[in-house]
Structure 1
Amino acid sequence: MPTGIALRDPRQQLFEAAVRVLVRDGVTGLTSRAVTTEAGVAKGVLHRHFADFDAFLTELVLDRIALIEAQATALRDAAGTGTVADNLTRALMTFFEPVTVAIVVLVIARDELRTRLRAAGTTRLPLVGEGTAMIAGYLTAERDHGRIAPDADIAALAPTLIGTAQLLSTEQDGSPPQPSAVRNVVTTILASALP
């Protein structure tokens, strides 16, 4: 006789619970027990699907990286439409939503997680590196459309945009920066790169 309800997708359910705990309680509140309690499942469920808690966290970050890769594709596809500043402002606001900011802090705080992510082939600073690549890919596509100057230093512009947007996102009291503040940063940084 069954002794519980079937889980819809245990891995995804655990990821969603971890994100809620991380955003609400921070890195110190993110434990395997907190995740399983938030998900409403027995602690053994996490260990049935993952070798240990760091393996779970590694998969959580890789799952977020896959979302960023999808965002990068959509942003590159937007090249040549709208304005460069508007496209970048939306992309940076979406990228630095509270979950991403919290996961970046998590990656910085956990040595074993960084080690496992590097072994999985991520950038030196996971999420931030993929975000920088996303912005660089978009700027390159816009340069191909003639909307970014041919001599623009994309290798400098992309990390500058990501780093500044990250600072704006972490300086707030838990709320995202105003779009106007992000747009101001974008237009200032891009001023010399526009044809």
Structure 2
Amino acid sequence: MPTGVAIRDPRQQLFAAAERILLRDGPSALTSRGVTAEAGCAKGVLHRHFADFDDFLAELVLDRAARIEGQVPALRATAGTGTVVGNLAVGLTAIFETVAVAVVSLVTFRDELRARLRQAWPQGVPLLSEATVMIATYLEDERGFGRLTADSDIDALALTLIGSGHLLFADRTHTPTPEEVSGIVATVVAGALTSMPTR
């Protein structure tokens, strides 16, 4: 493999390679050698940019968590338009049809990675925590528009939606249909919706 070829944004190239391995083969297949081979770069590139492999994985998780945070404005912009169920179904799909489920599996799989993440993320699981905040913020906006009842338990709804979405998308052999996602969302939020249309 060539070692003298410069690569653009090596961190993101390595992150993208790790994602492909995670999605294709799962967390047990993720090694430093596997990542650099997948990225098409020399083995030393990863260690020039990260202290060690667990440092690389921690940065990958935090980078993907920040991407979810970046999705918040788009979901909030839908509040008061369309339907609550439809907007939430699109939001959950955007979170979980990407690499999020695989990254959560990675965090669960590696003890040292969890220990590293605790330094920057003392509570919760990165990605799932950001996703919960994203959904809760949207639900608060919808309550403000009167499309959710005033006594809706926003935190419980957000946790239930994220947990349900994670379970729905966790099976790598089946991609949930929009109807399946909408059905789960409709069931979770049914008691909190006002009389406005839900679909």
Q: Fold match, TM over 0.5?
A: yes
Q: CA deviation at 1:77?
A: 2.2
Q: CA deviation at 1:144?
A: 1.0
Letter aligned with residue 151 of structure 1 = D
Residues 1:31 and 2:31 aligned together: yes
User: In 2, are the aligned partners of 1:107 and 1:113 still within 8 Å (CA)?
Assistant: yes
For residue 185 of structure 2, what is the aligned residue in structure 1?
186
- Identity fraction in percent: 59
Q: CA deviation at 1:122?
A: 5.5
The 5 Å alignment of 1:110-129 reads 110-121=110-121, 123-129=123-129
Measure, in 1, the Cα distance between the counterparts of 2:123 and 2:5.
39
The 5 Å alignment of 1:1-80 reads 4-80=4-80
Superposition CA RMSD, Å:
1.3
Measure, in 2, the Cα distance between the counterparts of 1:13 and 1:127.
20
For residue 177 of structure 1, what is the aligned residue in structure 2?
176
Measure, in 1, the Cα distance between the counterparts of 2:171 and 2:14.
29
Letter aligned with residue 45 of structure 1 = V
Q: CA deviation at 1:22?
A: 1.1
Deviations 1:42-97 (A, max 9, x none): 11000000000000001101110111001122212221121111110001111111
Letter aligned with residue 72 of structure 1 = V
User: In 2, are the aligned partners of 1:57 and 1:113 still within 8 Å (CA)?
Assistant: yes
SS in 1 for 2:148: coil
Q: CA deviation at 1:5?
A: 2.1
Q: CA deviation at 1:189?
A: 1.0
Q: Which runs of 4+ in 1 moved over 2 A?
A: none
Unaligned runs of 5+ in 2: 195-199
TM-score scaled to structure 2, two decimals?
0.92
User: In 2, are the aligned partners of 1:123 and 1:130 still within 8 Å (CA)?
Assistant: no
Measure, in 2, the Cα distance between the counterparts of 1:69 and 1:35.
25
Alignment length (residue pairs):
192
- In structure 2, relative to structure 1, the CA distance for the partners of 1:22 and 1:159 (3 Å cut) is same
Measure, in 1, the Cα distance between the counterparts of 2:77 and 2:58.
29
Q: Which moved more, 1:113-122 or 1:39-48?
A: 113-122
SS in 1 for 2:51: coil
Q: CA deviation at 1:172?
A: 5.2
TM-score scaled to structure 1, two decimals?
0.94
For residue 197 of structure 2, what is the aligned residue in structure 1?
none
Q: CA deviation at 1:98?
A: 4.5
Measure, in 2, the Cα distance between the counterparts of 1:186 and 1:48.
44
Letter aligned with residue 187 of structure 1 = A
